[in-house]
């Protein structure tokens, strides 16, 4: 059989044929299938037959994902799984560099292709997970990967967030390592996504900024996105609002006391609302009052009450514009209550992040959207969901075009976490076709 495939792959194409991009298979064939009429690859097998998308193997992805799930890797304890991936690279002849702020928490940068011959496309995925906190609620052992009876789901800690997607990336590296690429394909396998990113993607980007690693032109993020295109992410800013009253003995509450908790309650009710704005790539902004602090004793009217606001920003909004809206709301409250006094502190924890967007006309977004059409036969949709941030934001903030496209799944961070296996296959085909478009060898 392999020889039959090899023969097939040796049909030389005219350049007109190779540019007629109509389907996923044809696109990938035009790039990777450029007849590798040799059978002398490193492993002595047959070099890429027809196309990358066609050669995506469901079982290989599930096997690799299962191997990753079987190695526990909560944030801070990622060494064993990174050693496994480094060993896997060695076995597959894939260049693998350790990039570490702390040698016990290494990131791996995998590279194939031809340097200085075209753009660099990097895939990014994290292998740290949240810990298992509710073992009794799991139907299977979280570190003993299991497939559902109907074959649709792979269960285990990290199955959805996001070891299976990293398995897709590794499979594509193995699939394309002998393909003629104009440029390079990398995978940034990182630690520390679930906590700060400081040891993970942020450190990789620091090394890129320092010139110690090549700077990718395009980045693909494999976090769960239900097979929808995620070219933007909400930003966030925190605000602390302190309402002032006048402390007093409870007995004098209606005489000299002004209850700061009651004042804050008015402010909270004025602010907790559905925000009537929308960005097509990311959806609505969010406001949520998540902490409140007041009172020194059960028999003292509180003189101060502080609450914190978590405000998620959409493209077009800034920390300042969101603060101005909040202040306008509080002024309305003050207009109706002469005793309402308050103070706002913007970004009290210094962790504000702007909304970040890779525009629709980026070659990366276009290539991904076209590949979704090719592979699925459907129009690509934006990932407009109530989702948190990914490491994609760090690449965007560094000025690198970045788009997310990952599988669907369920119960990430919870019991019975699972990924949808069919989605992994679709993701692999869409990414293979996207990479083909960006790293065409002709």
Binding mask of the shown chain, residues 221 to 240, with x at each position contacting Zn ion by CB under 5 A: --x-----------------
Supply the minimum distance, in Å, between the C-beta of residue 306 and Zn ion: 32
Question: In sequence order, what are the residues at sequence separation of 6 or more whose Cβ sits closer than 8 angstroms to the Cβ of residue 289?
Answer: 268, 271, 272, 307, 308, 309, 310
Site string for Zn ion, 184-223 (x = CB under 5 A): ---------------------------------------x
**35 vs 407, beta carbon nearer Zn ion:** 407
Q: Name the residue nearer to Zn ion (CB basis): 161 or 317.
A: 161
| 161 in contact with Zn ion (CB under 5 A) | yes
Which position has the token pair 């704005």? 277
**Residue with Cβ nearer Zn ion (76 or 348):** 76
168 binds Zn ion (CB under 5 A): no
Question: Which residue in the shown chain puts its C-beta closest to Zn ion?
Answer: 161
Report d(CA 332, CA 270) in Å as an integer. Answer: 9
Q: Return the range that interacts with Zn ion (CB under 5 A); candidates 5-13, 161-169, 267-275, 396-404.
A: 161-169
Contact flag: residue 391 with Zn ion (CB under 5 A): no
Q: Please identify, among the stretches 52-60, 127-135, 155-163, 213-221, the one whose residues bind Zn ion according to the rule CB under 5 A.
A: 155-163
By CB under 5 A, the count of residues binding Zn ion is 3
Q: Which is nearer to Zn ion, 61 or 326 (CB)?
A: 61
Residue closer to Zn ion by CB (options 158, 238) is: 158
CB of 38 to Zn ion, least distance (A): 40
Distance of closest approach, residue 412 Cβ to Zn ion, in angstroms: 7
Rounded CA separation 22/377 (Å): 11
Please report, for residues 50, 138, 222, 387, 422, the alpha-carbon distance to residue 160 in angstroms, rounded to integers and kept in the order given: 30, 15, 10, 14, 13
- Can you tell me the distance from the alpha carbon of 61 to that of 82, in angstroms, rounded to the nearest whole number? 18
Burial of 280 (0-12, 13-18, 19+ CB in 10 A): exposed
Contacts of 53 (CB under 8 A, 6+ apart): 24, 25, 27, 28, 375, 428, 429, 432, 433, 436
Contact positions with Zn ion (CB under 5 A) in 48-107 = none
Contact letters (x/-) for Zn ion, 408-427, by CB under 5 A? --------------------
Q: In the complex, what is the shortest distance from the CB of residue 83 to Zn ion, in angstroms, rounded to a whole number?
A: 21
304 binds Zn ion (CB under 5 A): no
- The DSSP output letter for 251 is G
Q: Select the residue interacting with Zn ion from 47, 82, 123, 162 (CB under 5 A).
A: 162
| For Zn ion, the closer CB: 163 or 437 | 163
Task: Write out the two tokens for 125.
Answer: 């995925």
Distances from the Cα of 147 to the Cαs of 63, 163, 421, in angstroms? 11, 15, 9
Assess whether the previous peptide bond of 162 is cis (omega < 30° from 0).
yes
Hey, how many other C-beta atoms are within 10 angstroms of the C-beta on 142? Answer: 22
> Rounded distance, CA 439 to CA 432, Å?
10
Window contacting Zn ion (CB under 5 A); options: 135-143, 154-162, 276-284, 402-410: 154-162
Using CA atoms, how far residue 193 sits from 71, 196, 323, in Å, is: 17, 6, 28
Interface residues with Zn ion (CB under 5 A) are 161-162, 223
């Amino acid at each position: 059989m392999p020889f039959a495939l090899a023969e097939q792959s040796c049909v030389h194409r005219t350049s007109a044929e190779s540019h007629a991009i109509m389907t996923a298979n044809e696109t990938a064939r035009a790039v990777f299938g450029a007849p590798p009429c040799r059978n002398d690859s490193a492993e002595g097998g047959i070099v890429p037959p027809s196309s990358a998308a066609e050669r995506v193997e469901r079982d290989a992805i599930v096997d690799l994902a299962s191997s990753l799930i079987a190695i526990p890797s909560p944030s801070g304890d990622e060494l064993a799984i990174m050693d496994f991936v480094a060993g896997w690279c060695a076995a597959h002849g894939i260049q693998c560099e350790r990039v570490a702020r702390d040698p016990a928490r290494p990131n791996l940068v995998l590279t194939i292709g031809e340097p200085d011959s075209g753009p660099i496309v990097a895939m990014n995925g994290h292998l740290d997970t949240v810990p298992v906190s509710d073992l009794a609620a799991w139907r299977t052992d979280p570190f003993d990967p299991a497939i559902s009876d109907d074959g649709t789901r792979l269960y285990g800690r990290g199955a959805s967030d996001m070891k299976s997607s990293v398995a897709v990336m590794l499979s594509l590296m193995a699939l394309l390592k002998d393909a003629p690429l104009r440029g390079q394909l990398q995978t940034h396998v990182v630690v520390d996504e679930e906590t700060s990113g400081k040891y993970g993607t942020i450190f990789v980007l620091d090394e890129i900024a320092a010139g110690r690693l090549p700077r990718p032109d395009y980045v693909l993020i494999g976090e769960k996105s239900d097979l929808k295109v995620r070219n933007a992410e909400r930003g966030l800013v925190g605000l602390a609002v302190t309402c002032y009253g006048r402390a007093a003995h409870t007995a004098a509450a209606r005489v000299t006391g002004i209850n700061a908790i009651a004042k804050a309650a008015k402010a909270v009710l004025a602010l907790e609302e559905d925000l009537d704005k929308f960005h097509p790539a990311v959806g609505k902004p969010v406001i949520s009052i998540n902490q409140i602090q007041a009172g020194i004793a059960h028999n003292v009217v509180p003189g101060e009450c502080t609450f914190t606001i978590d405000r998620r920003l959409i493209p077009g909004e800034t920390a300042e514009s969101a603060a101005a809206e909040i202040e306008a709301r509080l002024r309305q409250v003050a207009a109706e209550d002469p005793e309402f006094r308050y103070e706002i502190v913007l970004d009290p924890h210094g962790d504000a992040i702007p909304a970040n967007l890779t525009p629709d006309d980026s070659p990366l977004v276009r290539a991904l959207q076209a590949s979704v059409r090719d592979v699925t036969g459907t129009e690509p949709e934006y990932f407009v969901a109530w989702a948190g941030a990914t490491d994609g934001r760090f690449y965007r903030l560094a000025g690198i075009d970045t788009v997310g496209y990952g599988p669907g799944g369920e119960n990430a961070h919870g019991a019975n976490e699972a990924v949808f296996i069919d989605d992994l296959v679709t993701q692999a085909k869409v990414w293979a076709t996207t990479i083909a478009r960006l790293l065409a060898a002709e």
